[in-house]
Amino acid sequence: MAKITPKEDMASVSFETPLLDEQLAATTLGTYAPNHAIIRLSQDASFWLEENEPTLDRLAVFVHEYAHYLHNFSTTSGIYGFVATLRLLALFINTVDETGKSLGASALSAEASRELAAIVDWRLHLSGSYSQPFDMARMAQTELQVVDVSRHAATIDLSVQTLSIHRVSITLAKASDPTIAGSFFLGTHVLMEGLAWEIERILFASQGADSGMLDSRFPTWPYKAPRAIFESIAKHSLSPEQMAQVVLLSLLNTDPGDAFIAIADIFLGNALSESPDQIIERLRDVTLKELNSIKSAMIKSLTIETDRFSSKPTIHRGLKAMMKWAIEFLEVRSGDAFFELNTIRAADRDDLVEMFKKFPPCPIIQETGPHSQDLELFFIADRDPDHQIVNDLGVTQSLLHFASAHTNMRGIVPTPQAREGLCTFSGVCKLPLTVSSPEVCRRRPWESFAPQEGTGCWYASGVRLARSVKSNSSQ
């Protein structure tokens, strides 16, 4: 674990040395795990490694993933996505037996099963589709056209409230060949990826750099889909900053997909009477008023869902730390809808450093070498992170991974059907299990838990605390 102080001298950022050559651009430069709050950066793409030249490209990779974290915990749809994840986590825990294995949804009562179905539906509504409606690998954004927009009004009956939602299905087609077409649900996944791409473009423009290479390395899906959809409906092209503002306004809504289409319709109907900036300013004022009217309810929801885990102090503390991020970001967002865009656009590197200091990123897993074990967990901060909070977050994020591996679009599956995958902290963790049983860490990290042992890695601790039969061991 390490601390990295935000680079004060960002005037050293180089615009001349290209980072993203064809070979590197084909690799994953960085990732963010939604609602788990973990950023992962590749070695060559990292802005923060001392041996790497601090290029604008490398800064853009970090800003892209930082934007995902920021929008997860500072927008209405992002925060409610986290709330839905916590509700699902609470149900999942009730399926885990003393051996650390989930029995699946069959372990839930009829009432809990209905709640599970509602939460899964809510999460789908918020996130929308992940898969592209057809193969866009070799298609330019300008080749796409919207051929149909369908709005589906529905209600989701949760145990604590009934939600009225408006889900949006969009049919896209290739303009030159309408037989190549497909439909998908528009939600936070596509919108947030598009927003992060636009933010990288704003960053390049703010530094007077050519974004041509940046644009060419991003595929149309999902990054350019929001712009393609907007331009097809609104018959209007916006600057990167204006497009980012439109997407942000959509995310400050409980129906993000529907809000995005509604804004495009407003542009179509008002383009002759108002400038894009005038339309955005008017919509911003309305949106901020609505956000401030529901802010206390959002904080209350966060508190209720976090306090469900009060009997498990480690998890409770970890979730409260994450809730604190959301509350702090929400307070800023409710006064300035576009606060991060204003900082990036200002082309003031000192302000960018101050934003990283004021709103530190979530924990970052950094690749430091060519081998799978060459990883380090670090935090961007002016002082060493509190070891208690680091431990609490690690256990909590491991538990979130454990639950995620057991959930799909139909609900909760038993452990034999869980998705195999790498432990979140595989490579960062240096415990003996990583050497004696590497396949556990790489494929089935929940098997790191041994019922007869009272301690273990973060993942084992997360599984131990997930068990529905209360353990006598210390939490």
**pLDDT at residue number 348:** 72
Q: What is the mean pLDDT of the chain?
A: 90
Specify the pTM: 0.93
- pLDDT (average), residues 331-347: 92
Q: Given this model, what pLDDT does residue 272 score?
A: 79
Bond from prior residue into 414 cis (ω within 30 degrees of 0): no
Q: In the predicted model, is pLDDT for residue 17 greater than 70?
A: no
pLDDT at position 21: 44
Question: In this predicted model, what pLDDT tens digit does every residue of 200-219 receive, in sequence order?
Answer: 999 999 988 888 878 888 99
Express each pLDDT in 34-50 by its tens digit.
999 999 999 998 988 98
What is the structure's pLDDT at 372? 75
Mean of pLDDT values over 141-164: 90
Name the band, by pLDDT with cuts 50, 70 and 90, for residue 475.
very low
User: Which of the four pLDDT bands, split at 50, 70 and 90, describes residue 144?
Assistant: very high
Which tens digit of pLDDT belongs to each residue from 49-101? Answer: 988 988 889 999 999 999 999 999 999 999 999 999 999 999 999 999 999 99
**Cα-based distances in Å from 382 to 37, 65, 243, 386:** 20, 20, 33, 12
Query: Span 366-375, mean pLDDT?
Result: 86
Measured CA distances, 381 to 2, 320, 331, 360 (Å): 10, 19, 21, 7
Report percent pLDDT > 90 for the chain.
71
pLDDT at residue 264 in the model: 98
Q: Give whichever of 93-102, 355-364, 465-474 has the largest mean pLDDT.
A: 93-102
- Cα 291 to Cα 250: distance, rounded to the nearest angstrom: 12
pLDDT tops 80 at residue 474: no
pLDDT at 7: 55
pLDDT digits (tens, 9 = 90+) for 388-420: 999 999 999 999 999 999 999 889 999 999 999
Domain boundaries, the chain: 2-73+349-466, 76-325
What's the pLDDT tens digit per position in 223-268?
999 999 999 999 999 999 999 999 999 999 999 999 999 999 999 9
What pLDDT is attached to residue 14?
54
Share of the chain above pLDDT 70, in %: 92
Which backbone phi and psi does 146 adopt, to 5 degrees?
A: -85, 125
pLDDT at 6: 56
**Weakest mean pLDDT among 9-18, 302-311, 400-409, 441-450:** 9-18
